[in-house]
């Protein structure tokens, strides 16, 4: 990744134009040509530096739901439970963390009702309790990683 | 260290109307925008819509907050931000909003939420995510934050991530759903 790539990543994290020739508009702000911007975004995606280029949706406003859930899993049982949890398509991401509560995952469902159902299904499949930690209030941050 | 401008909102169940055409459009671009000169025309062609219709609807979905952000998703690991910690705080409920706004103002904080306690197993009600290039950097950020926001007396724990198993966005289908 060179300085131009870094400038592209930093700018696109702030947003992307919605107009007829959005790459041309974004490229102009970066002092690049449209073709070069497209080629570089393609390369950043291929290299895995960017995982996605497009919209981030607001699940609740689409009628869906999101929640954070946590589990306390005995270490010698972790791999078994982890495999089961990751097998659920509603599990959007999942991190092992250093704590007695050692598994933290996000559930994304198409309806609010489905959150409770998936939690019950995970508890039944794993034999472990799932703690639902839905957001009550969000404090907005400027989500940016300085590249 | 500079503070960002902080916005703040209470979570509501507000739902702008999203119709079936919107859903098909959102489904068509959920995995990314075409990398061509006129991406909205290409999306429109696949859905039987004009470029102008696509642009108008996307602008409206963004204005209504259905699309939170239009841009890139960065794999922070690949940029060298390999350490991430979830820091959880036990904060008096009446102080949570003020402290949440304070934490969210730091540029190394990427998420900040108030969540329910689960007593007796879990006492913490304020969460924030700190990213850094190393564990030491994350801990230095934390110390700075504790001093700056006056959090010395508040119980908190740092949960470093050990492994990441899945990282993908939520997936939406274009299927028509009952409301």
User: In this structure, what CATH number is given to the domain that contains residue B86?
Assistant: 3.30.70.3460
The pLDDT score that the predictor gives to residue B27 is: 87
* Tokens coding B28: 């068509």
**Do residues B80 and B54 both lie within one domain?**
no
Domain count, chain B: 2
The pLDDT score that the predictor gives to residue A1 is: 83
The pLDDT score that the predictor gives to residue A142 is: 60
Q: Where are the domains of chain A?
A: 3-47, 59-133
Q: Provide the 10 A C-beta neighbour count for residue B48.
A: 9
pLDDT tens for residues A90-133? 998 899 999 999 999 999 898 999 999 999 999 999 999 999 99
- Asked if A92 has any chain B CB less than 8 Å from its own CB, the reply is yes
- Chain-chain contact of A21 with B38 (C-beta, under 8 angstroms): yes
Q: Which ipTM score applies to this complex?
A: 0.76
The pLDDT score that the predictor gives to residue B34 is: 94
Contact by Cβ (8 Å): A53, A45: yes
**Do residues B96 and B56 both lie within one domain?**
no
Mean pLDDT of chain A: 91
User: Which residue in the set A42, A95, A141 is minimally distant from B109, CB to CB?
Assistant: A141
pLDDT tens digit at each of 147 positions of chain A:
889 998 998 888 878 999 999 999 999 999 999 999 999 999 999 988 887 888 888 877 878 899 999 999 999 999 999 999 999 999 988 999 999 999 999 998 989 999 999 999 999 999 999 999 999 999 977 655 555
User: Which residue in the set B31, B66, B114 is minimally distant from A137, CB to CB?
Assistant: B114
Query: A-chain residues within 8 Å CB-CB of B18?
Result: 61-63
The pLDDT score that the predictor gives to residue B166 is: 66
- Chain-chain contact of B122 with A16 (C-beta, under 8 angstroms): no
**Do residues B40 and B85 both lie within one domain?**
no
Q: How far apart (Å, rounded) are the C-alpha atoms in residues A39 and A17? A: 17
Query: B-chain residues within 8 Å CB-CB of A89?
Result: 171
Q: Closest Cα to residue A13, out of A5, A1, A2?
A: A5
How many angstroms away from the CA of A78 is the closest CA of chain B?
12
Structurally, at CATH architecture level, domain A59-133 sits in 2-Layer Sandwich (3.30)
Report H helices in chain A: 3-13, 22-30, 34-47, 78-86, 112-126
pLDDT tens digit at each of 179 positions of chain B:
333 333 344 444 455 678 899 999 998 998 889 999 999 999 999 999 999 999 999 999 999 888 888 877 777 666 667 788 999 999 999 999 999 999 998 888 888 999 999 999 999 999 999 988 889 999 999 999 999 888 999 999 999 988 877 655 545 444 333 33
- Give a yes or no: residue B3 inside a domain: no
């Amino acid at each position: 990744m060179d300085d131009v790539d870094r400038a592209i990543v930093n700018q696109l994290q702030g947003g992307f134009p919605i107009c007829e020739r959005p790459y041309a508009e974004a490229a102009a702000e970066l002092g690049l040509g449209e073709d070069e911007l497209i080629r570089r975004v393609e390369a950043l995606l291929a290299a895995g530096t960017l995982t996605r280029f497009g919209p981030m949706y607001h699940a609740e406003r689409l009628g869906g739901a999101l929640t954070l859930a946590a589990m306390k899993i005995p270490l010698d049982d972790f791999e078994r439970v982890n495999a089961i949890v990751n097998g659920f398509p509603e599990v959007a991401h999942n991190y092992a963390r250093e704590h007695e509560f050692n598994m933290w995952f996000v559930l994304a469902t198409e309806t609010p009702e489905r959150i409770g159902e998936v939690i019950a299904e995970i508890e039944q499949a794993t034999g472990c309790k799932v703690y639902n930690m839905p957001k009550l209030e969000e404090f907005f941050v400027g989500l940016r990683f300085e590249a | 260290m500079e503070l960002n401008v902080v916005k703040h909102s209470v979570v509501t169940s507000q739902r702008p109307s999203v119709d079936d055409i919107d859903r098909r459009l959102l489904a068509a671009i959920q995995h990314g925008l075409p990398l061509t000169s006129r991406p909205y025309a290409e999306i429109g062609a696949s859905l039987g819509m004009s470029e102008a219709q696509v642009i108008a609807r996307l602008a409206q979905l963004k204005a209504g907050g259905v699309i939170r952000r239009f841009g890139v998703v960065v794999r922070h690991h690949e940029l060298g931000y390999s350490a991430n910690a979830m820091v959880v705080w036990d904060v008096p409920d009446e102080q949570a909003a003020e402290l949440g706004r304070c934490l969210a103002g730091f540029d190394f904080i990427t998420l900040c939420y108030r969540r329910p306690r689960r007593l007796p197993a879990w006492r913490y009600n304020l969460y924030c995510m700190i990213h850094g290039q190393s564990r030491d950097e994350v801990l230095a950020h934390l110390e700075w934050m504790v001093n700056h926001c006056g959090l010395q007396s508040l119980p908190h724990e740092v949960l470093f991530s050990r492994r990441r198993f899945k990282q993908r966005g939520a997936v939406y289908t274009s299927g028509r759903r009952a409301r």
